[in-house]
Chain A
Amino acid sequence: MPSNEAGFYQLTALLPVKTGPYKALSGEKNVPQYCNSSQSYSHHLKDYLNQLSDSFLSNIDSKSSKSGDLHLFDHTRCTHFARFVVIDQLFYNGRRRHDSLIDFFRTLAAGKDLLSKKDKIDQLESPYLLIAIDFDCHPSSTSCVQDYLSDLWPYASQELTEILHHCEGFYLPVPPRGKRFTSRTADWNAYRTVERMILSHEVETTYPFSAYFWVADKVKRWNPSTDRVSPSEFKNRWGLFGIGILPFLLVIVSLLILPFYLGSFFFNWLYEYVPPGAELSEFYQAWNRWGIIGFALSVISVILFMFAWRYFINRANQPMPQIKGVDLKSISKSLYLQGEFLEMYKRWQDHDGFSKSSIRQHFSCFLDKHQPSDIESPSLQPGKYFSIRKMS
């Protein structure tokens, strides 16, 4: 499945938003200040998401935010990016363009101006909430979304239920703002509903692209001592490309030889009605032979088309392998090490004046203190500017 590629899961879910004016649920004791009965669900949801976004942005700077004040996605340490977008309506980009000559002849044939016909404009029955999250997941895992949601839930139960409360199919009570569910049963029910809704409204990502994979591939091939980069093992798969192109070639071939088949029918019909004594037999037989070959090739090409298409799509959608060291924890650790390495270099320069005899000592101390192989040791805190995450 292309959603799960190279160790990253690109979750895409589209959930229909309720229509009509916003109504707070009966069990909702703490109605937010921004709640306004004249608002639609869509408008109310946007307001809530904007407030959530502002709370994230106001705490993004570690200097001004309260210590230890983490945002909902900060806790997971595997979420690279996340976005919630309310799609109110689809876009209309005008009439579909045709070739002018074709339109001219169509107009002549129809006897009236086809362009004066009213164009059909797509409209959604209700707005949609787009949830797009990029998070780390092992390529062999079949329960990426479930595992991710269960990790996220303890820190984001209130926010997720509040968001999904605006979507069709969610009718459970929402806990007061800043608080969690009081009973475990209510918490479990809400979690199961949220998980079911996201899974049932998930859309397969057709083409995922992750630059981290390619960056990691390049770093893997880089030699730190010589600064040389060896060629990548990921090359164009021309064989599979050929299999993808093959169905189209077969269809073109079958379309070219089909006239011979139809021609043989015509001559067959003609042969039955020719006057006695007319010598059409050799010509007819030649056409008839080509017709049989054409028919056989058409059938074969259609069968091959079906198999080749299925095979191609399945093979092309196979996920790329995972390259270790580009999950969020490893990247945070790398960024942390980068800063600390520079600090060590600076100390070596300031205190020892590039002394040959002391760099070994400095580097040994650096390794002991920052433990480069241990991604759980001090690292950067996700969701903050340059904030160091202490050991848990």
Chain B
Amino acid sequence: MRLILPGMARQPGTKDHWHERPFSTLGSIGLSLVAFLRPAWGISKIPLRDTPSFGMPLGDIVGKSSALTVVTPLWCSWINRFLLGLYRTLPAQFFPLVNLQMIHFARWVILPKDRWPGRSKKFKTRYSYLLFSSNFNGTWDVYLDEFSDVISLGMDTMWYRSIGYPKSIPSRPFKAYIDDNSIECSYYYNALPGFSLRDVASALKVRKAIHFLEEKLAEINQDTTTSAATKDDLFFQQFESVVANLVNHLPSTGKPPLHAAHGTRELNL
């Protein structure tokens, strides 16, 4: 049986009428015409886009989360240390990134050129290095596009003194830079492989709503002057108002993508 939640207006499975989404319908017709006429115009051999082979190594994906590990050379790392310190005083600058709900955990670590762990002080590299490690949802392309579109200034200041850093706009050289400096994980563990950050945020809201209803239920039950029917009515009102606000946080989380195991990894080698 289909689940009916408060606020559900459209029947799932019903299609939009063409006049409700004119641009997508016209766009589809246009694309079909282009595909049909391309050989006639003699442009069938011209590639639509010169797409480089960027992407995510399969070993870096576990369930709905992916790992990204980037090591880049830094010149004058104290400036980056200072900028990262400045960012710690400005948490509101990251609110757009937080609202995207793509990254679970991320870290920026400056590795000083004269303090490599396990090495004597005599060993010194020419540059310091910036290690960036992230656990995110979605595809590699979309993730870096978000960096480029939403917090480009933030990313540019984080990698401010990185050698060869092309800035995050336009996104293509930025992606090439990240791809060139990435290292694949040999082992990656994710405690909640079936859930994205949005799923977690929804679950936290549901739990808060349950606690809220629990308190209301206790209040209603404690009132000895009202009848059972009135108590049912009072709780129903509370329940209805809360569930109406949870509509977008209750549906199923969906299936996670296929992971790379055994045969797939061997094929890549």
Given contacts A50-B265, A82-B189, A215-B197, contact A241 B90 (CB under 8 A): yes
Interface contact A14-B116, CB-CB below 8 Å: yes
Q: Does B142 contact A (CB under 8 A)?
A: no
**Size class of the A contact interface (CB-based, 8 Å):** 35 or more
Residue from the list B131, B208, B214 in contact with A130, Cβ < 8 A:
B131
Q: Does B172 contact A (CB under 8 A)?
A: no
Question: Closest approach, in angstroms, between the C-beta of B261 and any C-beta of chain A?
Answer: 4
Q: Does A270 contact B (CB under 8 A)?
A: no
CB-CB under 8 A from B117, the residues of chain A are 13-16, 128, 200-203
Interface contact B133-A360, CB-CB below 8 Å: no
Given contacts A15-B117, A207-B108, A328-B191, contact A338 B206 (CB under 8 A): yes
CB contact list, B85-134 vs A, under 8 A: 85-95, 98, 101, 103-111, 116-119, 123, 125-127, 129, 131, 133
User: In the bound complex, what is the Cα–Cα distance between A194 and B162 (angstroms)?
Assistant: 33
Q: Does A359 contact B (CB under 8 A)?
A: yes
Interface contact A364-B129, CB-CB below 8 Å: no
Question: Closest approach, in angstroms, between the C-beta of B219 and any C-beta of chain A?
Answer: 12
Interface contact B105-A359, CB-CB below 8 Å: no
**Main SS of the interface on chain A?**
mixed
Task: Map CB proximity to A onto B159-174 as digits: 1 under 8 Å, 0 otherwise.
Answer: 0001110000000000
Interface contact A385-B207, CB-CB below 8 Å: no
Task: Map CB proximity to B onto A3-23 as digits: 1 under 8 Å, 0 otherwise.
Answer: 000001010111110000000
Task: Map CB proximity to B onto A286-326 as digits: 1 under 8 Å, 0 otherwise.
Answer: 00000000000000000000000000110011001000011
Given contacts A215-B101, A335-B195, contact A122 B206 (CB under 8 A): no
Q: Considering only CB atoms and an 8 Å cut-off, how many residues of chain B contact the other chain?
A: 113
Question: Closest approach, in angstroms, between the C-beta of B98 and any C-beta of chain A?
Answer: 4
User: In the bound complex, what is the Cα–Cα distance between A53 and B268 (angstroms)?
Assistant: 15
Interface contact B233-A356, CB-CB below 8 Å: yes
Interface contact A345-B243, CB-CB below 8 Å: yes
CB contact list, A352-392 vs B, under 8 A: 356-360, 363-364, 367, 372-373, 380, 382-386
Question: Closest approach, in angstroms, between the C-beta of B174 and any C-beta of chain A?
Answer: 13
Interface contact A326-B204, CB-CB below 8 Å: yes
CB contact list, B28-58 vs A, under 8 A: none
Interface contact B186-A206, CB-CB below 8 Å: no
Question: Closest approach, in angstroms, between the C-beta of A90 and any C-beta of chain B?
Answer: 7
CB-CB under 8 A from B153, the residues of chain A are none
CB-CB under 8 A from B259, the residues of chain A are 57, 60
CB-CB under 8 A from B103, the residues of chain A are 209, 211
User: In the bound complex, what is the Cα–Cα distance between A341 and B243 (angstroms)?
Assistant: 10
Q: Does B138 contact A (CB under 8 A)?
A: no
User: In the bound complex, what is the Cα–Cα distance between A58 and B242 (angstroms)?
Assistant: 40
Question: Closest approach, in angstroms, between the C-beta of A230 and any C-beta of chain B?
Answer: 13
Interface contact B108-A206, CB-CB below 8 Å: yes
User: In the bound complex, what is the Cα–Cα distance between A325 and B206 (angstroms)?
Assistant: 13
Question: Closest approach, in angstroms, between the C-beta of B128 and any C-beta of chain A?
Answer: 10
Instruction: Determine the residue in chain A with the shortest Cβ distance to B100.
Output: A211
Interface contact B191-A80, CB-CB below 8 Å: yes
Given contacts A224-B208, A224-B242, contact A53 B186 (CB under 8 A): yes
Interface contact B208-A222, CB-CB below 8 Å: yes
Interface contact B210-A372, CB-CB below 8 Å: yes
Q: A91-B180, A93-B163, A345-B5 given. 12 additional CB < 8 A pairs?
A: A50-B265, A56-B189, A73-B189, A91-B73, A205-B109, A206-B110, A218-B201, A224-B209, A236-B90, A316-B85, A357-B229, A383-B189
**What are 30 A-to-B residue pairs whose CB atoms are below 8 Å?**
A14-B116, A14-B118, A16-B118, A83-B185, A83-B187, A83-B189, A87-B183, A90-B129, A122-B73, A122-B125, A122-B126, A124-B116, A128-B117, A130-B131, A204-B109, A207-B108, A214-B95, A215-B101, A222-B208, A224-B208, A225-B212, A241-B89, A317-B85, A334-B206, A341-B250, A342-B251, A359-B236, A360-B235, A372-B207, A385-B194
